Structure 1
Amino acid sequence: MQYVLRLFVAGPSEHSTAAIRNLWAMSRGPLKSNAKFDIVDVRLNPETAEAHNVFITPTLLNLAPGSVRRVVGDLSDHDHVLAALGITQRSGKSDAEEKIL
């Protein structure tokens, strides 16, 4: 299954840079060979952000397959990002249990 991801950032801010770095890490791991992504700087392309109802950055959208899903933040918790985007299943453990392991 091919996932289509779009990351919206606002220039070279600390959070935007972290989100790009984390998306890159996921693309070399769990998303390897089954996702394509692009990065949109909302300062340069505000119309694209508005068309996708993105008002906070960084925001990652899973545009396909299925309905659009979004995650806001620096994407540092890869497991939660992938689950929120519908790419993987969460383990079923509570957040507290996951942090203990």
Structure 2
Amino acid sequence: MSTHYLLKLYVANGDPVVEKLARALSHALEKSELVQFDLQVTDILKDVQKAVADGVFATPTLIRELPAPTQRLIGDLSDPHHILLLLGLIQQDSLGHNDYQGTSE
């Protein structure tokens, strides 16, 4: 069984840079057969209550809700590769090569 990731991306006014990021994240995650993911994109100006419920007060904010523990990235999300590293979705080996971390259970 593959690892399931739930990612929530909070944006304001459908920023084209963030929309590009969402597509890049989806594309990068789809490369791994070991990672199943849901990427939910929410415009905080259209769904304020959802943002408040998740404790989001700045955009862009990316939350990895599953698997636990929850992780948050706030601010510059312009590098999808770096984001995947920070969220633990890929690992960098000692030579600087990257590999997806998704594991079979």
What is aligned with 1:50? 52
Judge conservation of contact 1:22–1:74 (CA < 8 Å) in 2.
no
Relative to the length of structure 1, the TM-score reads: 0.75
Q: Give, in whole Å, the separation in 2 of the partners of 1:23 and 1:73.
A: 14
Change (3 A) 1:67 1:44: same
Select 1:83's aligned residue among 85, 89, 93.
Answer: 85
Note the C-alpha offset of 1:91.
4.7
Bigger share in helix: 1
Relative to the length of structure 2, the TM-score reads: 0.73
What is aligned with 2:18? 19
Of 17-26 and 39-48, more deviation after overlay is shown by 17-26
**Moved segments of 4+, more than 3 Å:** 90-93
Give a deviation string over 1:30-79, Cα, whole Å, max 9, x none.
Answer: 30062111111111111111111111101111110111111123522122
Q: How many residues align?
A: 90
Change (3 A) 1:81 1:92: farther
Q: CA RMSD in A?
A: 2.1
For residue 25 of structure 2, what is the amino acid of its counterpart? Answer: M
SS in 2 for 1:44: coil
Change (3 A) 1:44 1:92: farther
Change (3 A) 1:22 1:55: same
Change (3 A) 1:45 1:89: same
Change (3 A) 1:57 1:91: farther
